[in-house]
Amino acid sequence: MLRGNKELWLAFLSCVLVTGVYAAILFSTREIPAAGELFGHSIGIFGFILMLMTEILYSLRKRSKFATWGRMSTWLQIHIFTGLVGPYMVLLHTSWKFNGLAGATTLLTFIIVVSGFIGRYIYTRIPRTMDGLEIEGTLSQEALKRARQLMSLWHTVHIPIGMALFISAFVHIGAALYYATFLK
């Protein structure tokens, strides 16, 4: 069960901190950090690593018979934390230009974050143990059935968006590194 919204606050504070560093660089250089320069590039790489962790770690803990370490609720909190801070860093990486495939990748990132919030809302409607297993709660059977149906419908949308996002991100990274970094 997800209790409270500690992970949302921690993600918010981390984003404020990152914004502080971004603002300091912006004011000292009087330029928007470019996506291909040291800061913009680093924040893109770091943010993308956080996004990859979001995509892989929770599913691994949830689905693998061997990955049994830590509570599911903690892994979901980590999922949400990295799923917010990573995309935010990537947003600052873009230098506020959204052309072509890189722009489409940013849009997909935005969509998956919004979809994540919707999923979090539905997920927390279903009573669960700390390990994420559903339990009989105070909810009426009819409402519980509806929440389950919504959750599985949500999965069929959220997971393919995630896949499309990573495919387009890898193409962008390959192209950006080839044209903007190695050919320089």
Binding site for ligand HEM (CB under 6 A): 35-36, 41, 44-45, 48, 51, 54-55, 58-59, 62-63, 76, 79-80, 83-84, 86-87, 90, 93-95, 97-99, 102-103, 105-106, 109, 112-113, 116-117, 119-120, 123, 132, 158-159, 162, 169, 172-173, 176-177, 180-181
CA count, 13 A, side-chain hemisphere, 105: 23
Nearer to ligand HEM, 27 or 96 (CB): 96
| Token pair in block for residue 159 | 């997971």
Q: How far is the CB of 90 from ligand HEM (least distance, A)?
A: 4
Q: Residue with structure tokens 């949830």? A: 62
Q: How far is the CB of 52 from ligand HEM (least distance, A)?
A: 8
Nearer to ligand HEM, 1 or 172 (CB): 172
Nearer to ligand HEM, 25 or 79 (CB): 79
The string over 49-73, giving b where at least 16 C-beta atoms fall within 10 Å of a residue's C-beta and e elsewhere, is ebbebbbebbeebeeeeeeeeeebb
Q: How far is the CB of 27 from ligand HEM (least distance, A)?
A: 22
3-class SS at 134? Answer: strand
> Which parts of the chain fold into alpha helices (H)?
6-29, 38-63, 72-93, 100-125, 141-176
Q: How far is the CB of 47 from ligand HEM (least distance, A)?
A: 7
| Token pair in block for residue 134 | 């559903």
Nearer to ligand HEM, 28 or 54 (CB): 54
